[in-house]
């Protein structure tokens, strides 16, 4: 029934957009961090083109203090949990509606942290902007948005479009700033955004004159350069490669804590995950480059033109994924590009055993939409040539800018430009499940590195031959492959492979040595210890674990050598250090308690979910019956990020099956505050 209702809702809105055109939205908004709510006044200008029985605006679980149509309060309307439905008071031609509302969203608008750590941000795709702003769940309704936002003067407020006003004003109890942002062109509601936080800004200007704004939390200002590396170069490249000038005038990017995904391409204003905020060492482990290019490409593919429905979602994700690869090709060369394409192909081939839904289906997997969609575009580009592909894309964007599209709209233009057999292409790549690995390999084999990689996988080379390859200028994945494939060979025979791999001084090849050698022979210890000095927190962590395991008598030496290193955003290295200190270090009772307390600090609500989960995973090993650990675990079940919540709930339910653990929790109920007591009781009352 849920799917029938959803289908009927989409159908109804589709019919509405044929008769009603919402033109613009002006909103004045008041987010409230104390109550985790938002209130405001919204005014829509819309045109009724044909006779229609009712007009609908999506508004989830909102309280309305006033609704006016054409400055008249006397008209018929209905409010449901999901919509405002207008029945009369409307006229053919231009109309205006003003809505005063308040909402306490359970999703889509998120409040994290407190005081200087406070952040408020939105994530509209998949959850709908209508949870915090009366708007439209139908992507086919495009509107020009102008948002004014009042907030305290200590925080920076970001939204879509250009900042046209920033005014400080006095309120009865505090000083606030009005931030006014304005779009010039229409966009779908799911692309409306807010981000409020303690941000610092840097700027750059592109070759075509577009202003780029880069934001970071003020505590991260030393990380601007590694986090946003290549941003300007990628923008200039994509604008030239796509062939259509960036359409929105300004582009900004801001990371937020506990974001639900890697990034989101809100028009003019991408939000991305704090995990991609890195220092120079962390850049070698996990950087923002691919996500950066992907979200930027969406400003054309998804924002400028938007797929009509989920069936055509690949037109957004496939294009963004492919153009991100092209941008990386520009930065890092052909070998990198083909290695990524080959990795996509292998993922798709493995998934094809169970993934039976084709790309052109609203229920297709993310892997299909993103990576098979990208592969489909690569096939077209190779078959018709880069110039024809660019010509077709440019024509496609120009024809449908600020509109909605389907797959046939794009393929029709491809055929017009090149005469390409789009029907066969559509059948093979978009309407058939699975992945054509044999076809893909023909395209991949145009690259020399891939030829060598495929040949190596089929060959049976001697250790001396493999050693020579490691000494050559072969691309790094070949060298990684050799290290991993020899992991089961006796160390005496493999030693030369490992020594030669370390001598490459390639971070990723050396990491392969760390990962593939968990048990370290005494004769290899000194060489293996050099991995602790690599410019990679991941490599340092792997090496630290393996060295402490292999040489327990030297744990204190290794802990001293790595003391004080925080690692990446999830603090995995720091937390691993604490775990090793507790389990393997020479600790006094005081040291032990201090280490537990430090882990508890990282497991608290003051930190991001990735840090909290890493800390809790260790605490559940070393001290799971500790009342403070129990409280931290139960509090985690209330988090907005589903991955973290699932981890916490799964562990709570597993532990409550142990009588002794259940007994401890039952005793804690009596002396707990109402919030944690409610959580304890909720899980204790569950039936397993």
Exposure b/e, 524-561, CB count within 10 A at least 16 = b:
beeebbebbebebbbbbbbbbbbbbebbeeebeebbee
pLDDT confidence tier of residue 316, bands split at 50, 70 and 90: very high
pLDDT confidence tier of residue 65, bands split at 50, 70 and 90: very high
pLDDT at site 2: 31
Q: What is the pTM of this model?
A: 0.95
Work out the burial of residue 622: count CB atoms within 10 Å of its CB; fewer than 13 is exposed, 13-18 middle, 19 or more buried. Answer: middle
Percent of the chain with pLDDT over 90: 90
- pLDDT at residue 13 greater than cutoff 60: no
pLDDT confidence tier of residue 10, bands split at 50, 70 and 90: very low
Task: Report pLDDT digits (tens) over 149-169.
Answer: 999 999 999 999 999 999 999
Task: Report pLDDT digits (tens) over 544-578.
Answer: 999 999 999 999 999 999 999 999 999 999 999 99
pLDDT at site 53: 87
CA atoms within a 13 Å half-sphere pointing along the CA-CB vector of 524:
24
pLDDT at site 72: 76
Please answer whether residues 359 and 430 qualify as being in contact, where contact means their C-beta atoms are separated by less than 8 angstroms. Answer: yes
- pLDDT at residue 592 greater than cutoff 80: yes
SS3 content of the chain, % helix, strand, coil (to 5): 50, 20, 30
Task: Report pLDDT digits (tens) over 322-370.
Answer: 999 999 999 999 999 999 999 999 999 999 999 999 999 999 999 999 9
203 CB contacts (<8 Å, ≥6 apart)? 211, 212, 213, 214
- pLDDT at residue 127 greater than cutoff 80: no
Task: Report pLDDT digits (tens) over 300-315.
Answer: 999 999 999 999 999 9
- pLDDT at residue 7 greater than cutoff 50: no
Token reading at 11: 């159908």
pLDDT confidence tier of residue 15, bands split at 50, 70 and 90: low
Q: Can you tell me the distance from the alpha carbon of 330 to that of 386, in angstroms, rounded to the nearest whole number?
A: 14
In eight-state DSSP terms, residue 91 is -
Range 520-527 average pLDDT: 98
Q: Can you tell me the distance from the alpha carbon of 497 to that of 463, in angstroms, rounded to the nearest whole number?
A: 7
β-strand partners of 45: 24, 96
Q: Can you tell me the distance from the alpha carbon of 33 to that of 111, in angstroms, rounded to the nearest whole number?
A: 7
Task: Report pLDDT digits (tens) over 646-672.
Answer: 999 999 999 999 999 999 999 999 889
- pLDDT at residue 1 greater than cutoff 60: no
pLDDT at site 52: 87
């Amino acid at each position: 029934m849920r799917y029938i209702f959803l289908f009927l809702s989409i159908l109804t809105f589709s019919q509405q957009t044929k008769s009603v055109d919402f033109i613009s939205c002006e909103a004045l908004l008041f987010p409230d961090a104390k109550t985790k709510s938002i209130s405001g006044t919204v005014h829509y200008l819309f045109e009724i083109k044909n006779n229609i029985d009712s007009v609908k605006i999506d508004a989830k679980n909102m309280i309305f203090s006033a609704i006016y149509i054409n400055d008249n309060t006397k008209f018929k309307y209905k409010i449901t949990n999901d919509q405002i439905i207008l029945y009369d008071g409307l006229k053919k031609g231009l109309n205006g509606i003003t809505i005063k509302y308040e909402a306490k969203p359970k999703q889509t608008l998120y409040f994290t942290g407190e005081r200087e750590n406070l952040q408020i941000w939105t994530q509209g795709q998949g959850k709908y902007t209508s949870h915090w702003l009366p708007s439209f769940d139908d992507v086919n309704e495009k509107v020009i948005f102008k948002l004014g936002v009042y907030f305290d003067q200590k925080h920076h407020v970001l939204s879509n479009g250009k900042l046209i006003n920033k005014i400080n004003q006095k309120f009865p109890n505090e000083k606030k700033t009005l931030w006014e942002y304005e779009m010039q062109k229409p966009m779908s509601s799911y692309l409306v955004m807010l981000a409020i936080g303690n941000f610092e800004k840097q700027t750059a200007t592109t070759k075509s004159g577009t202003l780029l704004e880069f934001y970071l939390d003020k505590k991260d200002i030393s990380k601007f350069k590694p986090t946003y590396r290549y941003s300007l170069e990628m923008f200039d490249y994509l604008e030239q490669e796509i062939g259509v000038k960036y359409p929105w005038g300004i582009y900004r990017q801001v990371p937020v804590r506990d974001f639900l995904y890697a990034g989101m391409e809100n028009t003019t204003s991408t939000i991305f995950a704090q995990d991609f905020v890195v220092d120079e060492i962390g850049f070698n482990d996990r950087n923002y480059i691919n996500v950066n290019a992907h979200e930027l490409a969406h400003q054309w593919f998804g924002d400028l033109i938007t797929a009509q429905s989920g069936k055509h979602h690949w037109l957004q994700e496939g294009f963004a994924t492919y153009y991100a690869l092209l941008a990386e090709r520009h930065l890092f060369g052909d070998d990198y590009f083909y290695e990524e394409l080959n990795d996509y192909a292998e993922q798709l081939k493995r998934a094809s055993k169970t993934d039976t839904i084709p790309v052109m289906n609203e229920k297709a997997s993310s892997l299909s939409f993103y990576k098979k969609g990208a592969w489909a575009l690569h096939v077209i580009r190779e078959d018709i040539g880069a110039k024809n592909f660019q010509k077709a894309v440019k024509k496609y964007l120009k024809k449908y800018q600020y509109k909605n599209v389907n797959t046939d709209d794009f393929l029709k233009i491809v055929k017009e430009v090149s005469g390409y057999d789009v029907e066969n292409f559509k059948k093979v790549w978009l309407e058939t499940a699975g992945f054509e690995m044999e076809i893909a390999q023909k395209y991949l084999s145009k690259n020399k590195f891939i030829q060598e990689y495929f040949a190596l996988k089929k060959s049976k080379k001697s250790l001396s031959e493999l050693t020579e390859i490691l000494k050559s200028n072969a691309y790094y994945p070949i060298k990684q492959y050799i290290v991993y494939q020899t992991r089961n060979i006796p160390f005496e025979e493999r030693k030369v492979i490992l020594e030669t791999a370390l001598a490459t001084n390639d971070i990723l090849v050396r990491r392969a040595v760390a990962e593939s050698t968990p048990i370290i022979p005494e004769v290899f210890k000194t060489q293996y210890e050099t991995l602790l000095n690599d410019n990679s927190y991941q490599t340092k962590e792997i090496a630290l674990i393996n060295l402490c395991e292999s040489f327990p008598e030297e744990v204190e030496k290794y802990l001293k050598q790595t003391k004080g290193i925080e690692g990446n955003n999830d603090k995995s290295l720091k937390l691993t250090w604490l775990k090793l200190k507790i389990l393997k270090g020479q600790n006094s009772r005081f040291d032990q308690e201090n280490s537990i307390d430090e882990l508890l600090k990282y497991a608290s609500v003051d930190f991001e979910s990735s840090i909290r989960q890493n800390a809790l995973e260790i605490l559940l090993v070393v001290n799971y019956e500790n009342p403070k650990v129990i409280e931290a675990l139960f509090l985690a079940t209330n988090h907005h990020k589903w991955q973290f919540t699932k981890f916490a709930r799964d562990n709570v339910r597993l532990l409550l099956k142990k009588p002794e653990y259940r007994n401890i929790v039952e005793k804690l109920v009596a002396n707990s505050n109402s919030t944690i007591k409610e959580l304890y009781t909720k899980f204790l009352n569950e039936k397993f």
